[in-house]
Chain A
Amino acid sequence: MELEHLRSFGKTSKQRKLLPFLFVLPAILIILSLAIFPLGYSVYMSFNKYSFLLSPAPVFIGLRNFIEIFSDNVFLYSLKVTAFFTVLSVLAETGLGFELALLLNREFKGLSIVRTLAIVPMMISSVAAGYLWRFMYWPRYGLLDTLLSLLGIGPLPVWLSDPETALLSVILVDIWQWTPFTSLIYLAGLNAIPREPYEAAEIDGASTWQTFRYITLPLMTGVIGVAVLFRITDCIRYFDQVYVLTRGGPGYETYTTSFYIYRIGLVGNFEIGYSSAMSWVVNFISLAVCIILIRTVLRPSR
């Protein structure tokens, strides 16, 4: 908008229209071929009964997949697992990440070392992180059990195999790995806040809490919204560490929806139709959450 004259500067009107088009074309082509086509195909498949291994061709069955989904107890349970996982992880990562960002947003000796160490977890592959935590959680000999029994705490659960603790243990791994990421985003946000409001607050004699409540927090709403948006969508797709840590077990305690769809669609009989239908249910949920977040948190700040 602000660039009307830059935009109208091209030499001929033809060039003016062609160049922007050429700039966006490669991106659009890539996305069309590798995202939109598969998505369209999976819409089509969700109305079919089709197993990659067992059936010769897809059979159109209308909405029957979707009807089946809502009486599929494992799927419904996996939604519950995913929702619990998402809420707990995102809350913890937002709180801990923000607190850490506030701590790191000042000068002290060793700041750069601390900042560097703080981003280590998010640089590690989720598969490696999964193994790392499997060692940590290892019954009796693992670091966690050794330390806790040194402190005289016990009897200890078998973290990843106990239905009571399995999901919480997996959540802790996610918090460990992604708190640095939220913290980085908040730190970037804190750095970008202008100085003037703080100077004004100091002159007016505002307390630390008032400054935080009425200046920092409102200015950071957009940034918090972005971080939460990223984390929620990442939690909804959560797959890697479940695969490495628990394979969904014990029972269905850590079956996230992504993991269940994988089990149905990409191993065993490759139930393409049914798993496509499930993935569309997840897409709609993910999309709905995003739209609500963007409307409520991100819009007003722009």
Chain B
Amino acid sequence: MAVFNVIDHQETGSGGDASYSKSSIGTSYDHLYFTASTRISTSAIYTTQYIEFNSDTGTNYSIKSFYAIGSNNYAGSNHSGNNINYVYAPSATADADIFGSLEVWIPNYANTDNYKQALCTWGFANGSAANNILGTTAGLWMSTAAIDTFKLAAGSGTFDQYSTYTLYGVNGAT
């Protein structure tokens, strides 16, 4: 069996999308890997995106983020959040044609014994020192359920046209 398998790929059209979501994810892989190239319509330099699993909007997420805006470093955390946030994307007042990069690893997503960890790496350079932003966010979903639905949503506004999303199932050695 191939190591990397495309589960789903989508691109936002001209009307924008509030979120990307993939349901009915099988349990046949060892890990999930997600990449996106996104921009958000909100009138700001950057806006957070957030991740949810299995449509769970309860206070079942814990996150820790380390990021830089320009030359300043910041840390963010939330130990009873409704989702995994602190995952920023360029928005309407960022330079034109700038889309941010995001990748997310979700190891052992289908196990039913442990809570699920997600490691998110994201960022973009923006042509303005004060508004460049990048960081890493560790997210914990405090559920032992197998992940069968993955959602990435704009914190406000919608994802712009040409935003792309790809979800992979990744296998180890058999």
Same complex origin of A and B? no
